[in-house]
Amino acid sequence: MGRVAVFIDGANLFFTQRHLGWQIDFSRLMAFFKSGYTSVQANYYVPASEPVSAENAAFSRVLTAHGYRIISKPVKKIVNKETGVVIMKGNLDVELVVDALSGADQYDTFILFSGDSDFLPLLRALHEKGKEVIVYSTQGLSARELLAEPGIAYRDLAILKERIEQVRSGDSMRADGVIGGIDQEFSPPLPDIGQTFTGSVLKVQSYGIFLSNPFHVKCLLPLSFLGISKYISDLTAIVRMTDVFDVVVFHVNTDRDIAEITVKLADKMMAEELTSRIDA
C-alpha cells in the first residue's frame, strides 16, 4: 500500500470547494487516505491573516486534531506607490515545493490538491524520481497542462463527494450525535483503551459532549468525565462549538451497529477553563 504524502494548496482548495458547491470533511478525507496507504502525512498550506477569526482558529484546531500539519505565513500588504493600490500577497507555492522535494525520501506517492499548472515542474521532478504522482482537483479549475501531462494521474474531487463531503448537522446528524452517511469500508480501525486523540465539538447534550474523532464512531465525553467538581446546571452554556478537547479512550462498545467510544478529558487546562465559565 505504501507511504503517501498529501500536499494541500489551501487557497486553491477553497475555490475548488466553492466551485463544487460542497465542503470537504477533513476527518473523512484523512480516513479515506488511511484506508489505502500504510502511512499518511498531510500538509495544509494556507496564508495567515491578522487578526485570526474564531472560525479560522477553530478550523485550524480541527485540521490539527485529525493529523494535518499546517504551514502558514502572514499575508503581506504591498502598496503601489504610484497608484496607491494595495495588493494582498500570501502565496505558499515555494514552501510547498521545497517541502515536497526535501522530504521526497519519506513517501512513495505524492498527492497534490491543486489545479494550478505552476506546480507542473515539481510534479515532473517527482515523477522522474520514481514517485507515483496524483493530482486532486475538479473540472473547470484544473489546468490543461496537468490533465495532459504523462505520468501524472488526475482525480476529480466531484467523484469522491459521497466519501469525503462534510455532512451538515441539520441534514444527517441523528439525535444521538452520530454523523450518518460514512462508508464503513473507509473507516479506520477502532481505538484501544487508553489511546488519546483530540476532538472538536459536534453536539452538546445535558449529559455530555459528542466529539469528532478519527475513527468515525459515536464518541461521547460524559459530563462526569470532565473533571469538574462544581455543579453544572446547563452544559450547553459553558461548552462552545469552537472548543477542542484532548481526551483518552475509556471504553469501546462494539455491540451496536455503529461502534461507540466513551472518553475522559485529559486536559486539565480545559477543565479549568470550563470551570471558570461556570462562575462567569
pLDDT at 173: 33
pLDDT at 134: 96
Instruction: With beta carbons less than 8 A apart as the criterion, state whether 77 and 103 touch.
Output: no
Per-residue pLDDT of the chain (280 residues; tens, 9 = 90+): 799 999 999 989 988 999 999 989 888 898 889 888 988 999 999 887 766 677 777 778 778 878 899 998 876 666 666 665 545 456 789 999 999 999 999 999 999 999 999 999 999 999 999 999 999 999 888 998 888 899 999 999 999 998 898 865 444 333 333 333 334 344 457 889 999 988 888 789 999 999 888 776 789 999 999 999 889 988 999 998 778 899 999 999 988 766 889 999 999 999 999 999 997 7
Question: Judging by DSSP bridges, how do beta strands 68-71 and 152-156 pair with one another?
Answer: unpaired
| Residues near 189 by beta carbon (within 8 Å), at least 6 away in sequence | 215
Q: Which domains does the chain have, with CATH numbers?
A: 3-164 (3.40.50.1010), 170-279 (2.40.50.140)
Query: Which position has the grid cell 485550524?
Result: 60
| Residues near 115 by beta carbon (within 8 Å), at least 6 away in sequence | 12, 16, 135, 137, 138, 141, 142, 143, 146
pLDDT at 16: 92
pLDDT at 184: 38
- pTM recorded for the entire structure: 0.63
| Residues near 231 by beta carbon (within 8 Å), at least 6 away in sequence | none
